[in-house]
Structure 1
Amino acid sequence: MSELFDFGQKVLAKQAFSVFLGAELTKFEPGEAELTLLVRDELKQQHGFVHGGVVSYLADNSLGFVGGSVLTDVVTSEYKINYARPAIGEKLVARASVLASGKRQAVCQSKVFAIDGNEEKLVAVAQGTLNKVE
């Protein structure tokens, strides 16, 4: 494991909400981050698929991690999410990448997928701006 990945694991462990949801950091390197979450009934809404707030959490937090991979300590200043389809599956994975970055700001994208067996379906796409904490 890299120093960056170890650092990311420590950051995630300090996020009480992430721990509560059961999120796992599965990839963290410069310009790329991946968070996964096992689906449980408590995370579903009345129609049986994962609540949009949970999908949004994964998108936002993966944006924060990937922005932090190039700027160190960041906060989300804005993001937009588009839901493509209901999140139905055993696990969710958010894969984020940096689109552009400067000294104080990074524009990043996250794609959230639902995994059911060997099938993976895109459920949401988010784009956000992360600002360096100074």
Structure 2
Amino acid sequence: MSGVPDLAAAREVLRAQPFSTLLGARLVAFGEGAATLELDIRDDLRQQYGFVHGGVLAYAADNALTFAAGAAAGQGLITSGFTIDYLRPARGDVLRARARVVRAGRTRIVCRCDVSTVDGVGVETPCAVAQGTISVIDPVGAAGLREA
């Protein structure tokens, strides 16, 4: 496992994810076992009732959980599983996912994520919570995962 990257290096990892680029996700904080991911809420990210689609919230939680783990353990990580509870419909201007490490073990890292929306005047409203387990993998083995 390699060392913990800084914010600039972590942003490069995010930019290397085509789906994250498609959504316009940005890493706004990274370090000391925590990470914050944001994305602007656009009409094409909403479901039929006008709320942000649950899959978008799940994406934000999943990525924030893994980046938080990376802020504690370095690279060579992959999500092994997570749960998400939706608290209320997500509406606002920005979706924010703040994750932090609960416990970092040698092979597994447990993290928690709070997902909220932020409106035009900066009021933050919680909309989901998630908990996940991130597995430490061999960074060389990660190249094989991309080929599968």
Unmatched runs of 5 consecutive residues or more in structure 1 = none
| Pairing 1:65-84 to 2, within 5 Å after superposition | 65-72=67-74, 73-84=76-87
Moved segments of 4+, more than 3 Å? none
1:98 equivalent in structure 2: 101
Aligned sequence identity (%)? 45
Deviations 1:13-36 (A, max 9, x none): 100000000000000002110000
Instruction: Tell me the distance in 2 between the aligned counterparts of 1:104 and 1:28.
Output: 21
SS in 2 for 1:59: helix
| Pairing 1:55-74 to 2, within 5 Å after superposition | 55-72=57-74, 73-74=76-77
One of 103, 110, 115 as aligned partner of 1:112: 115
Number of residues of Structure 1 aligned to a counterpart in Structure 2: 133
Unmatched runs of 5 consecutive residues or more in structure 2 = 139-148
Instruction: Tell me the distance in 2 between the aligned counterparts of 1:89 and 1:109.
Output: 22
Q: TM-score, normalised by structure 2?
A: 0.87
| Pairing 1:13-92 to 2, within 5 Å after superposition | 13-72=15-74, 73-92=76-95
Deviations 1:19-74 (A, max 9, x none): 00000000000211000000000000000010000000000000010111122221
Deviations 1:76-107 (A, max 9, x none): 01100000000000000000000001112110
Instruction: Tell me the distance in 2 between the aligned counterparts of 1:19 and 1:105.
Output: 27
SS in 1 for 2:6: helix
Q: Considering only CA atoms, is the larger Rg found in Structure 1 or Structure 2?
A: 2
Report whether the alignment pairs 1:124 with 2:128: yes
Instruction: Tell me the distance in 1 between the aligned counterparts of 2:29 and 2:99.
Output: 10
Alignment RMSD (CA, Å): 1.2
Query: Per residue, is there more strand in 1 or in 2?
Result: 1
